[in-house]
Amino acid sequence: MFNIMKAIWYRNLVITKRSMPDLFSIFFWPLITPISMALFASFINSREAIIILLLGSISWSYAYSSQQDVSYSFLRDMWYRSVKKLRLIPTSTFSLIIGTWTYSIFRSIIVLLVTSGVALIFGFNLFSAEIWKLALVFFGMNLFGLFLGMMITSALLRFGQSAEVLAWSVVDALILISGIFYPVSVLPESIRWIAFFSPLSYALENLRGIFLSGIFDFGMLFSMYGLLAIYLIVGWAIFSREEKRAREKGFFQRYD
Amino acid sequence: MPAIEIRNLKKNFGKFQALKGISLKIEEGEIFGLLGPNGAGKTTLTNILATLLLPSGGSAKVMGHDVAKDFLEIRKIIGYTAGYASFIEHLTGWENMKFYAMAYGARPSMELVKIMGMEGKIHKQVSEYSSGMMQRLGFIVASIHDPKVLLLDEPTIGMDPNIAVSVRSYINSLRSKRTILLTTHNMYEAEDVCDRVGIISQGRIVALGTPAALKKKYRVKNLEGAFLKMTGMRLEV
C-alpha cells in the first residue's frame, strides 16, 4: 500500500509543479469566490456578511479540492490512455483510491491556507477558532470528497469519458443546496429535504455556528459523520461492483 | 508446472464470442509467439492473462495463480506492454519510469534505458516523444520489476528497424530466464525469437508448434505461408 501511495504522491507532485491548470486550481481559481464575496460584503458594509460569505467560499474551494484528486487522477489516466498500465500495478483498488485521496487532503489544505490568507486581508481570521473544531468539520469534507471521488470514478468506469463533466460539476451543484452562503431554511421547500442528506449542510451550518454564535453543535457533527459512514460503505460497494464490471466488459483494454 | 496454463478459455462480449475455448500450455523459460489477424482474439487473450479482463468460461493460470481469483499475485510476476504505449505527458520518460518503479517497489533502471537506446531522450518530457519512443518506454516499464512472465503485445510495432533489432536481441537474451508470450504480426520476428508459435483465428488456436515443425507440416518456406494456409488471409503489417 505504501509503495503505491508514495508513487501517486510523487507523480501528482510533479504534475502539479509542471501543469499550469493544476497550479491555477490551487493558487488562482479558489481565490475568485472569496475575493469577490469579500468585496461584496465590504460594499454592503456588514461584518456578519463578510464572515458568512468568506466561510462559504472557503468551504466551497475546500470541498471542491477534496474530491478533485480522487476523480481527476483516474480521469487523467483516461486522457493519457494509461489506465491499463496503472491497473497492472500489483495493488488493491482500495490502495489506489487511498493514495489519491491522501494527496487530495494535502491539496485541499494548501487551498485552505491560500483562501484563509485572502480572508485575513479582509479582517477575518479563520484560525481564530479552536483548531480541533475546524479539523473535525474540514476532515468531514475530505471524507465526503472521497465518497464523491469514488462515485465519479464509478460513473467514469460505467459511461467512459462522457461522465467526466461530473468531476467539475457535482460539488458545485451540491454546495448550492447545502446552504453555502445561507441557512438551509431559506431553500425552497421542494428541495430543502435534499440538504438533510448532504453532509456539507452540517459542515457549513457548524462553521457558521462557531463564528457567529460561538456554538459548536456536536449533534450536527454526529449527523455529518453518521451520513458519511453510510455513504462511504455504499460508495465502496458501488465502486467495487463497477470495477468488477469493468474487468468483465474489457473497459481497461480500451485505455492503452 | 507450466508458466501459463489455459484450459477451454472462453470470452464473450455480449453475443460476440472473442475466444471459443482455447487450451494452451507455455513452459517456464519458453518464448511463445501468438500470431493472428486483427480481431482474432490475441489481445483478448493477453488481457485475460494480464488480469485486466475476466474470462466468461474455462480457466487460465499464470505460474499456478488463477487469473480470476489471484490477480494481485499475478500482477507481481508479470510485465505487460501493448502495441501503442502511452504515458502522462507532463512527466519525463525517467519520471514515468520512476513512478512505476516506486509503485512496484523496484528501482528505475539505466541498464534498460540503454538497451532500448533511450539514453539521450529519457530526461525529456514524454510530450516530445514519437510513438516508437513511447513504445520503448512501455517496454522499459514492463520490465522494471524484473517479472517472471512477460506479455508483449506487438512490442516492436512502430519502432525504427535498428531499435527493433536491439529489442529482439534483448528478448532473445531472456530466453530460458523469462517466460514470454509475444503477439506479433511480424513473421520474421516470430521465426527469429519464438521457440513455439500458435496461430489464432476467430477465437480458436488453429495451429501450434515450433516454427520449423509448422513449416514442415504445411510444406511452406516460411511462417507466413503456414499462416495463409490456416487462416486463408494475409496479415496486416
Concatenate the DSSP letters of all residues of A6-24 into one string.
HHHHHHHHHHHHH-HHHHH
Helix axis angle for A2-18 and B93-104, nearest 10°, is: 160
Determine contact: B103 vs chain A, CB below 8 A.
yes
User: Which pLDDT value is given to residue A57?
Assistant: 93
Q: Which residue has the higher pLDDT, B73 or B174?
A: B73
Q: What is the pLDDT of residues B88-112, one digit of tens each?
A: 888 999 999 999 999 999 999 999 9
Is there a contact between B100 and A244 if contact means CB atoms under 8 Å apart? no
Residues B135, B160: contact at Cβ < 8 Å?
Answer: no
User: Which pLDDT value is given to residue A21?
Assistant: 85
- Percent of chain A having pLDDT more than 90? 63
Is there a contact between A90 and B87 if contact means CB atoms under 8 Å apart? no
Q: What is the pLDDT of residues B10-34, one digit of tens each?
A: 999 999 999 999 999 999 999 999 9
Nearest-angstrom CA–CA distance, A219 and A222: 5
Nearest-angstrom CA–CA distance, A21 and B191: 49
Distance of CA A178 to the CA centre of its chain: 14
What number of other Cβ atoms are within 10 A of residue A22's Cβ? 19
Q: Is the pLDDT of residue B165 over 90?
A: no
Q: How confident is the model at residue B76 (pLDDT cuts 50, 70, 90)?
A: very high
Please tell me the total count of domains within chain A.
1
Nearest-angstrom CA–CA distance, A16 and A52: 31
> What is the end-to-end Cα distance of chain A in Å, rounded?
24
Determine contact: B233 vs chain A, CB below 8 A.
no
Q: Lowest-pLDDT range, A79-93, A140-154, A184-198?
A: A79-93
Determine contact: B105 vs chain A, CB below 8 A.
yes
Per-residue pLDDT averaged across B116-138, rounded?
89
Taking CA atoms, what residue in A is nearest to B43? Answer: A253
Q: What Rg do the C-alpha atoms of chain B give, in angstroms?
A: 18
What is the DSSP-derived secondary structure letter of residue B78?
E
User: What is the bridge-based pairing of β-strands B57-62 and B204-209?
Assistant: unpaired
Q: How confident is the model at residue B232 (pLDDT cuts 50, 70, 90)?
A: low
Element (H, E) at B60: strand B57-62
User: Which pLDDT value is given to residue B71?
Assistant: 92
Per-residue pLDDT averaged across A229-248, rounded?
95
Averaged confidence pLDDT in chain B: 89
Nearest-angstrom CA–CA distance, B33 and B191: 9
Q: How confident is the model at residue B234 (pLDDT cuts 50, 70, 90)?
A: low
Q: What is the pLDDT of residues B170-225, one digit of tens each?
A: 888 888 889 999 998 888 888 889 999 999 989 999 999 999 998 888 888 778 78
Determine contact: B208 vs chain A, CB below 8 A.
no
- Domain range for residue A150? 2-255
- The grid coordinates of residue B213 equal 515443425
Is there a contact between A11 and B95 if contact means CB atoms under 8 Å apart? yes
Taking CA atoms, what residue in A is nearest to B75? Answer: A90
Is there a contact between B72 and A15 if contact means CB atoms under 8 Å apart? no
- The grid coordinates of residue A69 equal 484528486
Q: How confident is the model at residue B233 (pLDDT cuts 50, 70, 90)?
A: low
Contact residues, A window 68-127, toward B, CB-based 8 Å cutoff = 76-77, 80-82, 84-85, 87-92
- Percent of chain A having pLDDT more than 70? 99
Q: Is the pLDDT of residue A233 over 60?
A: yes
Q: Which residue has the higher pLDDT, A207 or A250?
A: A207
> Which of B67, B86, B97, B144 to mutate to probe the A interface, most A CBs <10 Å?
B86
Helix, coil or strand: residue A82: coil
Q: Is the pLDDT of residue A133 over 70?
A: yes
Taking CA atoms, what residue in B is nearest to A16? Answer: B90
| Residues forming beta bridges with residue B199, ordered by sequence position | B35, B207
Q: Is the pLDDT of residue B237 over 70?
A: no
- The grid coordinates of residue A22 equal 493544476
Averaged confidence pLDDT in chain A: 91
Per-residue pLDDT averaged across A162-175, rounded?
88
Per-residue pLDDT averaged across A179-197, rounded?
92
Size of interface A-B (CB pairs under 8 A): 90
User: Which pLDDT value is given to residue B220?
Assistant: 83
Contact residues, B window 27-66, toward A, CB-based 8 Å cutoff = 43-44, 47, 50-54
Number of H helices, E strands in chain B: 9, 10
- Percent of chain B having pLDDT more than 70? 97
User: Which pLDDT value is given to residue B133?
Assistant: 87
The nearest CA of chain A is from the CA of B162 a distance in Å of 25
User: Which pLDDT value is given to residue B33?
Assistant: 95
User: Which pLDDT value is given to residue A155?
Assistant: 94
